[in-house]
Chains A and B, each alone.
Chain A
């Protein structure tokens, strides 16, 4: 298969970037999208040009490192899945493919297709945890968790932290990401002691990092490689309202 590529090149955060045209030929349909970029980079290297910087690590859709917008869609056309799980057989031979980084104000571009997502770490640092000191845990089966809650918590916890939700959102909102963590921990009895402070602090940092608000466009859910449901955003809103109410009542 042959492809025309239009790829975002930007030397660093401060310099302007632009789309540059490239061509790749004789690509097997069993090549992954990132392997196709590897091949392009080898070609560039042979031609004495600088390879394109892009992030990836596990290349099996779980680490959340890869972060490309392909033809305007975060992670490309094969949902659900991260862009590392996208294969060239999903494209038409001869197609023109545009590749850009995730575009979110809170994720500054480092170089070419690489972005800085440390804002997501800071949201978790604000309270996305259960304070359980190693050594103080009770016997694991001493607290039962209804299967339904455990399963739902797992669905939320499956988030890979890639930031595609924010990239797809017209408001650059990270509410799907934040709601997944808040819901995961609020659904488990172990998460209840810090339930209110957690949601209040996480939302506060989410706002401070410059992420936008949810206006129910559901783009986040459509691109999420981990299939996190947008209904968790509703849960986040409920958790937030509940926490504010309880705080206002002095509880």
Chain B
């Protein structure tokens, strides 16, 4: 294995770990910072904030994104909000409680020290964003407003209408623009990372392809930061943007970076149901809607074809309120999603195909008036109407779970560095903070915590020992990586088969959704593990990628991503099979309580599963990082 597999959690009491780590970390002095070159791949909340902050500090940064502008990274689509334990509502919130909710929400499969640091830093993020001009919602007094989100009994979520991700991203995009103007950051839009370059056992550069010109380039640096987001698009249909992919992290994995918990994928309970086979993506309806909307299905399956208005109260099953009285409609995402699947499996689902449940605002409209609901969720209701042609002020929304976020990602230590020295991974691309399930409004929190506050403080710990070690892009390792990229591009174009990319991607997605989706079992996973290599073999025999490589070729860029998904899917299923327990979003049917809740196996599986690539056609090697809980007591997660 390259490097070391050690989480390097600082000693001392939980609440002092971060502070004391900062006190003892190495630094790079201001006049030495400009001597270091840093590559940041990705310009979303994590990458954008990291690139901007590192630029501010005086490093020389090169930031890459595949979009045509840094502002279009998929963080922009996050709707609901960002958590912080400010306790502005005086409702009993604290850093400890945010930490506890997050670690419990993750079903005790994340590191205490990382999660505590996240909870600590959350307050600084709100301060930083307000200073940048993020227009958070405010009370009439002029103070900041909050709302509630799933998995918490306090109101700690800050929001900017239903566009919180957009506003936070524009905040860091603007900070990035300032650094671009100042010359500290050089931006490379429409440029995709296709390989990681490791020199003397350390990450020292990347090979990229310019998506407009097709030009393949080498970039040498002192360190590489990956902030390339999640891989939910492996399922084809997800709430992710079309371009979201696993390529950067998977290429790093193939170069020796450990990939952790790849099977932990979050299925979001409130999305607009699938309407047809040519659907290209699923649209999320913010979890914040569950503050006022009530989820229900008919009690009897005979009623499922009836118009919702014709079903009287007594014949409705408000199943979340029934099963989880203390959290009700705000039960965490994994639990709400599974509950929806369960009632649909029983034949009580509504809408075409019977894969949907109602999210009903009638009571809230009666209580608060339509205007208040419009003020809170107006834009979401408009989106819903555009997609479905239905007016949710009059008839209940129909929703169904969809793939949304991936908790798994490249393995990192407390400094957010991978086992490959010099390779840092931040935001959704790493595995570190959300365990087996992420709570709402904490993805934005983690992305910005990593980019604004963690990485800028941990990176010097590595860089301080790296003076003069930056290789030249002419080094043989770069040559080899470039040839590797070139060969793969040519191979994709050379197949010249008959089937379209999307047909392969759709088939893979459907297979994973059935075998490695909301619930999994050994037999299904074994079937998937047999089918994926067959599909991959067909892909390389029969895919048709038109056009050529020296051009703006959208089919070619997608082809590379689908090819990686076809390999990565196997890793996901292996991880899901190996994790012989249920935890959070990973629900193994073999392991459940009598009332159908996830049953963990803390004895055997309270660990991070980190996978090490052993070569094409070889089984990857599993490394386990045991999770030690010194502060929290492991309980069966209860939201009843």
Residues of A within 8 A of B (CB): 12, 28, 30-32, 34-35, 38-39, 42, 45-46, 49-51, 53, 55-65, 78, 81, 85, 87, 89, 110-111, 114, 116-118, 120-121, 124-141, 143-147, 150-151, 153-154, 157-158, 160-161, 184-185, 188, 190-191
Cα distance, A141 to B133, chains bound together (Å):
13
A184-B135 CB under 8 A given contacts A60-B283, A157-B167 = yes
Q: Which residues of B contact A137 (CB under 8 A)?
A: 124, 127-128, 130-132
Of the A-B pairs whose beta carbons lie under 8 Å apart in the complex, a sample of 19, sorted by A's number, is: A12-B551, A34-B280, A46-B500, A49-B546, A51-B546, A51-B555, A57-B242, A58-B242, A60-B283, A62-B77, A64-B71, A87-B387, A114-B552, A124-B173, A124-B177, A129-B177, A144-B138, A146-B142, A161-B71
From B97-105, B271-279, B361-369, give the one contacting chain A.
Answer: B271-279
Contact between A129 and B212, CB atoms less than 8 A apart: no
Q: Which residues of A contact B131 (CB under 8 A)?
A: 130, 132, 136-138, 190
A39, A46, A140, most chain B CB atoms within 10 A: A140
Cα distance, A57 to B131, chains bound together (Å):
30
Contact between B456 and A134, CB atoms less than 8 A apart: yes
A147-B502 CB under 8 A given contacts A57-B67, A130-B132, A141-B143 = no
Q: Which residues of A contact B128 (CB under 8 A)?
A: 132, 134-135, 137
| Closest CB in chain A relative to B319 CB, distance in Å | 27
B180 at interface by CB-CB < 8 Å: yes
Q: Which 4 A-B pairs have the closest CB atoms?
A: A144-B142, A129-B174, A137-B131, A132-B131
Contact between A31 and B189, CB atoms less than 8 A apart: no
Contact with A along B138-153 (1 / 0, CB 8 A): 1111111000000000
**6 further interface pairs, Cβ-Cβ under 8 Å (given A61-B383, A125-B177):** A31-B278, A32-B280, A35-B278, A42-B503, A140-B86, A188-B133
Contact between A58 and B554, CB atoms less than 8 A apart: no
| Closest CB in chain B relative to A179 CB, distance in Å | 15
Q: Which residues of B contact A51 (CB under 8 A)?
A: 546, 554-555
B126, B135, B167, most chain A CB atoms within 10 A: B135
Residues of B within 8 A of A (CB): 49, 52-53, 56, 67-72, 74, 76-77, 86, 88, 124, 126-133, 135-144, 160-161, 163, 166-167, 170, 173-175, 177-178, 180-181, 187, 189, 212, 241-243, 275-276, 278-281, 283-284, 383, 386-387, 389, 452-453, 456, 498, 500, 502-503, 544, 546-547, 551-552, 554-555
Q: Which residues of A contact B140 (CB under 8 A)?
A: 147
Cα distance, A64 to B70, chains bound together (Å):
11
| Closest CB in chain A relative to B359 CB, distance in Å | 18
Contact between A81 and B386, CB atoms less than 8 A apart: yes
Q: Which residues of A contact B387 (CB under 8 A)?
A: 32, 85, 87
| Closest CB in chain A relative to B52 CB, distance in Å | 8
Q: Which residues of A contact B86 (CB under 8 A)?
A: 140-141
Cα distance, A117 to B161, chains bound together (Å):
27
Cα distance, A65 to B278, chains bound together (Å):
20
Cα distance, A113 to B10, chains bound together (Å):
53
Q: Which residues of B contact A39 (CB under 8 A)?
A: 278
Contact between A110 and B130, CB atoms less than 8 A apart: no
Contact between A134 and B56, CB atoms less than 8 A apart: yes
Contact between A57 and B74, CB atoms less than 8 A apart: yes
| Closest CB in chain B relative to A144 CB, distance in Å | 3
Contact between B138 and A147, CB atoms less than 8 A apart: yes
Q: Which residues of B contact A134 (CB under 8 A)?
A: 49, 52-53, 56, 128, 175, 452-453, 456
| Closest CB in chain B relative to A198 CB, distance in Å | 11
Q: Which residues of A contact B72 (CB under 8 A)?
A: 57-58, 63-65, 161
A58-B178 CB under 8 A given contacts A65-B72, A158-B163, A190-B133 = no
Q: Which residue of B lies closest to A53 (CB)?
A: B554
Q: Which residues of B contact A85 (CB under 8 A)?
A: 383, 386-387
Contact between A65 and B68, CB atoms less than 8 A apart: yes
Q: Which residues of B contact A151 (CB under 8 A)?
A: 135, 138
Cα distance, A61 to B163, chains bound together (Å):
11
Q: Which residue of A lies closest to B167 (CB)?
A: A157
Partner of B278, one of A28, A50, A124, A153: A28
Cα distance, A39 to B500, chains bound together (Å):
11
Q: Which residues of A contact B383 (CB under 8 A)?
A: 60-61, 85
A131-B178 CB under 8 A given contacts A46-B500, A65-B72, A140-B127 = yes
Q: Which residue of A lies closest to B352 (CB)?
A: A30
A62-B127 CB under 8 A given contacts A45-B546, A117-B68, A129-B177 = no
Cα distance, A129 to B174, chains bound together (Å):
5
Contact between B546 and A50, CB atoms less than 8 A apart: yes
Q: Which residues of B contact A55 (CB under 8 A)?
A: 68
Q: Which residues of B contact A190 (CB under 8 A)?
A: 130-133
Partner of B67, one of A65, A150, A158: A65
Contact between B386 and A191, CB atoms less than 8 A apart: no
Partner of A42, one of B132, B389, B502, B547: B502
A65, A120, A126, most chain B CB atoms within 10 A: A65
A63-B77 CB under 8 A given contacts A134-B56, A190-B132 = yes
Contact between A45 and B178, CB atoms less than 8 A apart: no
Cα distance, A132 to B53, chains bound together (Å):
10
Q: Which residues of A contact B53 (CB under 8 A)?
A: 134
Q: Which residues of A contact B498 (CB under 8 A)?
A: 46
Q: Which residues of A contact B212 (CB under 8 A)?
A: 110
| Closest CB in chain B relative to A208 CB, distance in Å | 14
Cα distance, A56 to B127, chains bound together (Å):
33
Q: Which residues of B contact A45 (CB under 8 A)?
A: 500, 544, 546, 555
Cα distance, A135 to B135, chains bound together (Å):
19
Q: Which residues of B contact A130 (CB under 8 A)?
A: 131-133, 174
Contact between A191 and B243, CB atoms less than 8 A apart: no
Q: Which residues of B contact A153 (CB under 8 A)?
A: 133, 135
Q: Which residues of B contact A126 (CB under 8 A)?
A: 181
Contact between A141 and B243, CB atoms less than 8 A apart: no
Contact between A147 and B71, CB atoms less than 8 A apart: no
Contact between A58 and B177, CB atoms less than 8 A apart: no
Cα distance, A40 to B127, chains bound together (Å):
48
Contact between A62 and B135, CB atoms less than 8 A apart: no
| Closest CB in chain A relative to B215 CB, distance in Å | 14
Q: Which residues of B contact A132 (CB under 8 A)?
A: 128, 131-133, 175
Cα distance, A188 to B212, chains bound together (Å):
38
Q: Which residues of A contact B551 (CB under 8 A)?
A: 12, 111
Q: Which residues of A contact B141 (CB under 8 A)?
A: 144, 147
Q: Which residues of B contact A136 (CB under 8 A)?
A: 131
| Closest CB in chain B relative to A90 CB, distance in Å | 9
Cα distance, A31 to B139, chains bound together (Å):
40
| Closest CB in chain B relative to A169 CB, distance in Å | 20
Cα distance, A143 to B144, chains bound together (Å):
10
Q: Which residues of A contact B142 (CB under 8 A)?
A: 144-147, 150
| Closest CB in chain B relative to A100 CB, distance in Å | 18
Contact between A121 and B276, CB atoms less than 8 A apart: no
| Closest CB in chain B relative to A74 CB, distance in Å | 17
Cα distance, A140 to B124, chains bound together (Å):
9
Contact between A154 and B135, CB atoms less than 8 A apart: yes
Q: Which residue of A lies closest to B242 (CB)?
A: A57
Q: Which residue of A lies closest to B52 (CB)?
A: A134
Contact between A157 and B170, CB atoms less than 8 A apart: yes
Q: Which residue of A lies closest to B386 (CB)?
A: A85
Cα distance, A41 to B567, chains bound together (Å):
26
Q: Which residues of B contact A138 (CB under 8 A)?
A: 127, 131
| Closest CB in chain B relative to A67 CB, distance in Å | 9
